[in-house]
Structure 1
């Protein structure tokens, strides 16, 4: 019969559930208590057996002490020694009565009976009795069990052996039962003879008549038992394995508390089942009509359908629940909409964010569509935030986003990857179309940026590539577009297209960054030295220390590769410390060898921000006994312009400490003549770009001439680097340059190579 009523089904379900739970719990408890009762019986019998063994040991010790009292008695020993049988018997009787001994046997060392209460031949052999491991054991004599001990009689040598024993009878078994809480039976399996027991007569007869099948007797009578053999730990005394000791207890008596617990739980289960039935009946009455409506509404919410409103016109709790469901539906729908929008859009600009752009690219690649990605980067936007504040920066980013929306055609997607990066994605676009888009973006972004009647100067760099030709996954596409944008920034161009090999440069920079700390730490960098000569006389006056790095995996790593990366990663100060220490060590060695040289060391822009720079260089120079005047510290013009005020202050401190200051690569940076006048400099190094073609390019000669005149007017020594031919040297002589260096004279050399070059160079000049 099929039950259609919800109330009846609910009642049936509640009752069945409660019944199943109670039944399972009952079975579990029943099994647990049964198993626990078995384990308890086993433990109790094991404990009883251990207690019995300990009591037997105590009794054996008492027997041992009693025997030793007898054998140490002077009169007894004298009687044994003289063979006075009457005295021996009298002593044995008196001593046996005094200690309650049931068996006493005295034998010669050869085993001949001297006096005994029982025939000596009924005992085990004297060799067995006198065994150290066989003392205080059980033996059977004339269908009776005795616990015996054998001790020597010495006067002072061994003259006899005395064996004393206590009878093991029902009285002894009953006493052991009181102490061990288990019945104890001593029996012979084959004959069924029971020597002693604490059991009642009925069980005694059953065990005696079924000695060969004791386990069946125990099972039929609900008895738990352990069976042990006589002298189980010493087969030397008695090898009759049919002699058994049985420890037993009544199972019903031992498990009475467990049975009581099971009966109590059955009663509790019945009461609980009745209560569950009543509760199910009441609940079924209260819940019927609205449940279907609420269930359907919940199902729709679970499926993501938030459109249909929930209307359940009731004034009770179900009505309130219906209103709560409706409020939840509206709230979830609104939050779902907000979450999806926030997940896929940038909150600042409202443009699709990185997640949305990556999803767009993945879908395009999965559907085998091609297109272009253009990534735009706002140059030096961090400086805008630092100088004008976060609010101005955010407003400018919103303006950039809006201008991109207005400028980009509708078939392109505009997104904001975060920070100062924007992206434009176009599916099914051709190369001419992307070129047209780049031109449109360039024109739009070069227009002035007005915010609150203030114009801000923003510059942009872009990188673009085709997908899936240049990359076939979203992450690689965006990463390579970023590489192109950075390349555009380095080249001072608006846009750069991706070309094969850019990734290799990027990966090489990553490898350099990873290998640089260990190279510095393990001193795998090297110093090479390039000579500096007097332009007029050609005399070698000093060297410039130049850093070199040859790596096993990376090969030769140029300074212009790893020095900027060292500045970005914070390794530059460790490099500067090492370079200064190694260069000064070498200069000290050369001075000791008679080489009269000056030394030039290059400093980076970050070194000029290092507060301890002056103290470090000064201490290192003095420790080596060198004069600061022999050290020239070179800084590039662009390094000074990073923070002119701080750089000028640090250079002034170095100059006051006695060091010479040189401005390197002059003419390629942004230093003005006013800044040059303020710089605490001693030398001005002309960049190689003006020197290499000076012999053939009048414009370069004019620039160099004016720079030399300016430097001399400012009392600065001029140094020309990059001399690669004699013609350039001759022009510089004519223009009055002070110092020169370049490959025409020597490439940078390791210290040992430089020393050989020095000797060869001076040898040639002296011959000339």
Structure 2
């Protein structure tokens, strides 16, 4: 492919730019001007149409007033009614016609025939074409009729004396004189067109005789908007209007020659063409000169740009001229220096924290990686400023930034040359201590914490800082630098949770986080493969000593983690947004078991815990009702247990759902009462049936204060009309104590442990026979089962 030199490219570019610019601007401008000329012509024609309509209405009104004066004249009415002298009536008609310069006036019989005309040659028996009895019905008429082949604009008015005796008509001729008058008014050629035949026919026109036939080509008399008519150079912009309100035999066509409408457009077009040609000539001439002038300096600039591409910034351009190229060369040299400086700053910003100036996470990990490669032992410390958020809240962001800078300076001042210091987040620093073990690292953290606690000077104030640190060591805890940073941060979080100054990472410390991630990922499979199992825990009626129901609980038989208690997976499932699926699974299983017990002769209710997400689910009541109808159970067989905090999370929406559930007949219970955050005013509004006292008050009933709380809670529930269920009952003494206080129901290990649902009926049968029922112990993942398992 042929390569063109820079000179040719400059020439072609300049010409192309000028041509493109002219074309881009020329054609839209011409199109805009042409459309504006067309619109202006259409507006002119449209205004002519309005003027014609108003003028014809004026003529019609003039005729109407004259006719109304005539038909109101009593002598004239008397003469018509008595069949008076014809010449007298004709004289009156002529006088009124002359007053308004009307050409024809006539008295018509009721059947439309002419009785008397203003012209003596008209016989009474002769009728005007177009005037029929049907056309005269309905009162005053304004229409166009043909008399002797000439169109007339007429107004016909009934004459009553007092009944309808005749019609009086006045009319103007629609002839060439009228067309000339309308042309003088509108400035347009005017033609009167008859459409009574096969094709439109011109009756009168201001057009030259030769142009009349061509003007009819494409003319649409009955079309309401402006349009083009004619062919070749005789094209006209035309607008048609009917003469009268009734009848469509005669139309007026107002026409403007298209050559007149576009004359201004043609003048502007020719002028723009001339400018475009001159611009093109100037562009070609200037391009030759420009290409010759700029070739040499541009080549030098291209060589310099090539050196910059290769990363060479120390060779300036030597163009000693006083023109723009000399200025450009100077700017180019300055740009080289600026780029070199910017690269240094970008590299620093990409690898350092903008606030403290310390290495950021990426550079810190790299420095730690170098440290573990050079040393046999490295302690990695994550040090956090615990009260930084409070400082920002009270003193502002600027003060918080200054505190971070002062803390960074203090840490940097206490480190050696081989130590690593990085700033990973607003409040977290990472320190690499080569050659030190975990004990030495903890001592270093405690020393730094004491120094920061002593305070840093901010203006005239001393700000005390609270610091917490975590330690992870190479190679004991990991051989990867990034992993050491994460594990040191995990140890710091544990130290903060335990209110300690420092903590060392323990192997397996972050296993729970990994397990929670696995649980969330495996939960859909658990629902699909039926890994979830329904457990129940019996509830005792203290007044009779009989089992009165059970609470439904859930266990997860995980194929890898073993049997999981709710505490191991409920929180993770809830945070993942899947708790509604778990709740509905438990509800289906619990209601199905309740129906199965009934079918086997044991009628007991069942209780199920629901979460805060379930309480704002507007479709939950419908799901529950459908579920109970499916198993043919009464709604009161199911008790829904909710915590105080769950209801208080979204009081208005939760109240709407629980009220609906209560109205459907389901029982509601407040679970773990006394441990949540609520108000008695809210409790009064809740449509609940029972209160479940948390096990912490029941298991410590020997404490006078807990006993007082227990006694008061039972009394409060009874005052509100609620029954009471005590959780965490461990022995017979607790059962007796609760019965003495008036508690209705109890639940706990002292009555029965949670058991697989298939063991419940055998256990219940053994208890009723008087034996002490026992439940097969199952191995549990994560240790022993808590006293009151949830869900």
TM-score (norm 2): 0.56
Question: Alpha-carbon deviation of 1:231?
Answer: 5.5
- 1:249-268 counterparts in 2 under 5 A? 249-268=256-275
Note the 1:254-293 alignment, pairs <5 A: 254-293=261-300
Alignment of 1:381-530 (within 5 A): 394=405, 397-401=408-412, 414-423=421-430, 437-447=437-447, 460-462=468-470, 482=489, 484-491=491-498, 492=500, 493-497=502-506, 498-501=509-512, 519=648, 522=651
Q: Structure 1, unaligned stretches of length 5 or more?
A: 363-370, 427-432, 526-551, 564-574, 586-691, 693-720, 730-739, 763-768
Q: What aligned pairs does 1:166-565 form with structure 2 within 5 A after superposition?
A: 166-188=172-194, 190=198, 194-204=202-212, 218-226=230-238, 228=240, 230=242, 234=246, 237=247, 240=249, 243-298=250-305, 301=308, 305=311, 307=313, 309-317=315-323, 318-346=325-353, 350-354=357-361, 356=363, 375-377=382-384, 394=405, 397-401=408-412, 414-423=421-430, 437-447=437-447, 460-462=468-470, 482=489, 484-491=491-498, 492=500, 493-497=502-506, 498-501=509-512, 519=648, 522=651
Whole-angstrom CA distance in 2 between matches of 1:384 and 1:174: 94
Task: Give the 3 Å change call, closer, same or farther, for CA 57–333 of structure 1 in structure 2.
Answer: same
Contact 2:112–2:127, Cα closer than 8 Å, also in 1? no
> What residue is the counterpart of 1:96 in the other structure?
97
After superposition, the Cα gap between the structure-2 partners of 1:281 and 1:28, relative to the gap in structure 1 and judged at 3 Å, is same
CA positional deviation for 1:17: 2.0
Q: What is the CA-CA distance between 1:76 and the residue it aligns to?
A: 1.8
Alignment correspondent of 2:608: none
Asked if structure 1 preserves the Cα contact closer than 8 Å seen for 2:190 and 2:205, the reply is yes
Q: Please state whether the residue corresponding to 2:170 is helix, strand or coil.
A: strand
Q: Show the counterpart of 1:749.
A: 713
Tell me how far apart the structure 2 counterparts of residues 159 and 477 of structure 1 sit (CA, whole Å).
119
**Residues 242 and 252 of structure 2 are in contact (CA less than 8 Å); yes or no, is this contact kept in structure 1?**
yes
What CA distance in whole angstroms lies between the structure 2 residues aligned with 1:725 and 1:68?
Answer: 113
1:108: which partner in 2?
109
1:86 to partner: Cα distance: 2.2
CA distance in 2, matches of 1:383, 1:159: 106
1:150: Cα distance to partner?
0.4
Contact (CA 8 Å) 1:403, 1:444: kept in 2 or not? no
Q: Secondary structure of the equivalent of 1:288?
A: helix
In structure 2, how many angstroms separate the alpha carbons of the residues matched to 1:154 and 1:139? 24
- State the distance in 1 between where 2:73 and 2:481 align: 107
Where 2:127 maps in the other structure, the secondary structure is: helix
Q: Which stretch shifts more, 194-203 or 150-159? A: 194-203
What do the CA deviations read for 1:623-681 (whole angstroms, capped 9, x no partner)? Answer: xxxxxxxxxxxxxxxxxxxxxxxxxxxxxxxxxxxxxxxxxxxxxxxxxxxxxxxxxxx
Secondary structure of 2:102's aligned partner: coil
Q: CA deviation at 1:151?
A: 0.6
Describe the shift of the 1:314–1:25 C-alpha distance in structure 2 as closer, same or farther (beyond 3 A): same
TM-score (norm 1): 0.58
What residue in structure 1 maps to residue 562 of structure 2?
none
Compute the displacement of 1:80 (Å): 0.9
Determine the C-alpha separation between the residues in 2 that align with 1:455 and 1:79: 126
Q: 508-517 or 193-202, which moves further after superposition?
A: 508-517
2:424 is paired with a residue whose SS is: strand
Question: 1:164–1:402: structure 2 CA closer, same or farther, 3 Å change rule?
Answer: same
Q: For the structure 1 residues 423 and 264, does the alpha-carbon distance in structure 2 shift closer, same or farther, using more than 3 Å as the test? A: same
Q: What is the aligned partner in structure 2 of residue 654 from structure 1?
A: none
Change (3 A) 1:392 1:160: closer
Secondary structure, aligned partner of 1:56: helix
Question: Alpha carbons of 1:372 and 1:130: their partners in 2 closer, same or farther (altered >3 Å)?
Answer: farther
**Higher mean displacement: 162-171 or 454-463:** 454-463
Determine the C-alpha separation between the residues in 2 that align with 1:477 and 1:109. Answer: 116
Counterpart CA distance in 2 for 1:220 and 1:125 is 41
Deviations 1:270-304 (A, max 9, x none): 33334434443443343221112323434665x58
Cα pair distance change 1:106/1:351, threshold 3 Å:
same
Q: What corresponds to 1:86 in structure 2? A: 87
Checking the alignment, whether the CA contact within 8 Å between 1:416 and 1:423 is kept in structure 2 is yes
Q: What residue ranges of structure 2 are gaps of 5+ in the alignment?
A: 370-377, 457-464, 517-566, 578-610, 614-643, 655-667, 685-695, 725-736, 743-791
Asked if the contact 1:192/1:210 (under 8 Å) is kept, the reply is: no
Contact 1:153 1:161 in 2 (8 A): yes
Q: Choose between structure 1 and 2: higher helix proportion.
A: 1
Alpha-carbon distance change, 273 to 359 in structure 1, aligned in 2, over 3 angstroms = farther
SS of 1:377's equivalent in the other structure is strand
Query: Which whole-Å CA distance do the structure 1 matches of 2:360 and 2:418 have between them?
Result: 19
Task: State the Cα distance separating 1:188 from its structure 2 match.
Answer: 3.6
Residue 161 of structure 1 and its aligned partner are, at CA, apart by: 0.6
The Cα shift of 1:72 comes to: 1.8
Measure the CA separation in 1 of the matches of 2:706 and 2:200: 121
Aligned residue-pair number: 544
Give the Cα–Cα distance (whole angstroms) in 2 for the partners of residues 725 and 212 of structure 1: 105
